[in-house]
Amino acid sequence: MNTKEKILIVDDEKIVRESLFHWFEEEGYEVDTAEDGENALKKYEKIKFDLLLVDMKMPGMSGLELLSRIKSIDIDSVVILITAFASVPTAISALKNGAYDYVTKPVDPDELAHLVQKALEQKALKIENKQLKENLDEIIKPDNLIGESYQMKKIYELINTVAPGDTTVMIRGESGTGKELVAKAIHINSKRKYFPIIPVNCGALAETLLESELFGHEKGAFTGAQFKRKGKFEMADGGTIFLDEIGSVPLKMQIELLRVIESKQFNRVGGNEVIKSDFRIIVATNEPLEELVKTGKFREDLYYRLNVFSIVIPPLRERRDDIPLLASFFLKKFSLVMNKPAKKISKEAMDFLVHYDWPGNVRELENAMERAMVIGKVDTIIVDDLPFHVSANNFSNDDNRKSLSAMEKKYIFKILNENNWNISRSASVLEIDRVTLYNKINKYGLRKDSH
């Protein structure tokens, strides 16, 4: 029992107050009493009791009136009314005004104790459910799944919608957008959360290895198979299997996959035993599977079997509002990992981050923040700490060209150096805004150490 649960007994009869006080105190509750409604209100305004036992008929303020006043203070308060003359109208009136229940005098202590316990358990459950709803955003954001943009809020809604069931999910998005994080978010909000999520990168394995990886193998099934080994589908029993880069699976394996997804049965490589596994399947792709279906590289029946519920993750360049949040998160993360003091990001560096196109998406941003944390000499990250390797557009390659773009590139680089790469001053000299200057820097691949 939770000894912190507080009960207030309100009754004008002293013998009733004292007997109930001793009874519930012995039960382990923290108990207080009041002889009338006015005193009860004064006590309730100071201490929010978990439950009130209120006599229906008292001099001055009646039990029903006290119930109404208490409910106006706290709609979630739990009140049990005690009446000497029970009737149907009395019961209806009590329940209609928000009472949890009512009991009749003489009170049966065991019956009342059971009713109180039940009421407090329901209240605790209600509070827990409310807290779970309030903390929903935290629950569905594992690791680096961060963002408050419209696009990310839509993704959170989709996760919340699909997570509870066993529907197959296809997650689409460029490399580095966080497809595995979305898969994890679906899993940890599902009924399978107490079982593992098993990730498989289908693009990283040759066909022969992929078959063994997914289905397992028996000892001696092939050269080097010295032991029996469980496959990923078997390991995912009760949980979720996440197949990343599903578009890279060879056609022969696609047939096997379709059969396993539909039957939830398979054989280990080199074995005859039928293995059964209860798994949920989530897949991810950075390829246009529809085009692969048209060219015969991906089975149409497998495509439709997998594409039941689709979530598309936008690239980072399409949700720039999330970049400051992500950059700050990664800086804090690496500050802890490297045991270094936390760093801030200068306005110029943050502007650069926000306007950079991030072809590697969130993964590239994370790497950029790690590098900045390593090489930064002061407590603030500056533009020069950021690792934008665009040497393919090396400044020296254009020195002898006379095109307008080459001349513009050379002139912008000159002004930046003259102003020690102060973006605001350089933009003012060039008579353009800072955003335009950042776009030019990205376009021409300019860096402070360019030659």
Specify the pLDDT at position 223. 72
Is residue 132 pLDDT above 90, yes or no?
Answer: no
Residue 137's pLDDT band (cuts 50, 70, 90): very low
* Bigger pLDDT: 400 vs 11: 11
* Bigger pLDDT: 272 vs 236: 236
Strands in 197-201's sheet, in edge-to-edge order, are 197-201, 240-244, 280-285, 169-172, 309-312
Q: Provide mean pLDDT across the span 147-155.
A: 91
Q: Provide mean pLDDT across the span 344-370.
A: 89
Fold classified for 391-444: Arc Repressor Mutant, subunit A (1.10.10)
Cα–Cα distance for residue pair 74/67, rounded to 1 Å: 10
Nearest Cα to 419, choosing from 333, 348, 362? 348
* Bigger pLDDT: 240 vs 449: 240
Is residue 377 pLDDT above 90, yes or no?
Answer: no
Residue 22's pLDDT band (cuts 50, 70, 90): very high
Task: Give the pairing type, strands 79-83 and 51-55.
Answer: parallel
Strand segments (E) across 256-412: 265-267, 274-276, 280-285, 309-312, 344-345, 380-381
Q: Where are the domains of the chain?
A: 6-133, 139-312, 317-385, 391-444
Nearest Cα to 442, choosing from 341, 358, 348, 361? 358
Residue 41's pLDDT band (cuts 50, 70, 90): very high
Specify the pLDDT at position 40. 93
Is residue 451 pLDDT above 70, yes or no?
Answer: no
CATH assignment, 6-133 = 3.40.50.2300
Fold classified for 317-385: Helicase, Ruva Protein; domain 3 (1.10.8)
* Bigger pLDDT: 399 vs 62: 62
Q: Do domains 139-312 and 317-385 have the same CATH topology?
A: no
Is residue 57 pLDDT above 90, yes or no?
Answer: no
Is residue 92 pLDDT above 80, yes or no?
Answer: no
Q: Provide mean pLDDT across the span 281-303.
A: 94
Residue 426's pLDDT band (cuts 50, 70, 90): confident
Is residue 2 pLDDT above 60, yes or no?
Answer: no
Is residue 267 pLDDT above 70, yes or no?
Answer: yes
Is residue 395 pLDDT above 70, yes or no?
Answer: no
At residue 423, the 3 state secondary structure works out as helix
What percent of the chain has a predicted confidence (pLDDT) above 70?
Answer: 89
CATH class name, domain 139-312 = alpha beta
Of the ranges 3-17, 259-273, 279-293, 405-419, which one carries the lowest mean pLDDT score?
Answer: 405-419
What pTM was computed for the model?
0.59
Is residue 27 pLDDT above 80, yes or no?
Answer: yes
Which residue, chain included where needed, has tokens 């209120």? 54
Specify the pLDDT at position 450. 52
Give the pLDDT confidence of 328-338 residue by residue, as tens digits: 999 999 999 88
Structure tokens belonging to residue 106: 């003489």
Is residue 140 pLDDT above 60, yes or no?
Answer: no
Cα–Cα distance for residue pair 236/254, rounded to 1 Å: 19
Segment of 323-332, 352-361, 409-418 carrying the highest mean pLDDT: 323-332
Cα–Cα distance for residue pair 263/193, rounded to 1 Å: 22
* Cβ pair 208, 224 in contact under 8 A: no
Specify the pLDDT at position 355. 86
Residue 251's pLDDT band (cuts 50, 70, 90): very high
Structure tokens belonging to residue 358: 């991030």
Cα–Cα distance for residue pair 381/331, rounded to 1 Å: 10
Of the ranges 99-103, 131-135, 306-310, which one carries the lowest mean pLDDT score?
Answer: 131-135
Q: Helix crossing, 88-96 with 63-73: angle to 10°?
A: 20
Cα–Cα distance for residue pair 178/242, rounded to 1 Å: 13
Average pLDDT, whole number, for the chain? 85
Residue 397's pLDDT band (cuts 50, 70, 90): very low
User: What single-letter DSSP state applies at residue 391?
Assistant: G
Is residue 273 pLDDT above 60, yes or no?
Answer: yes
Specify the pLDDT at position 399. 47
* Cβ pair 345, 329 in contact under 8 A: no
At residue 228, the 3 state secondary structure works out as coil
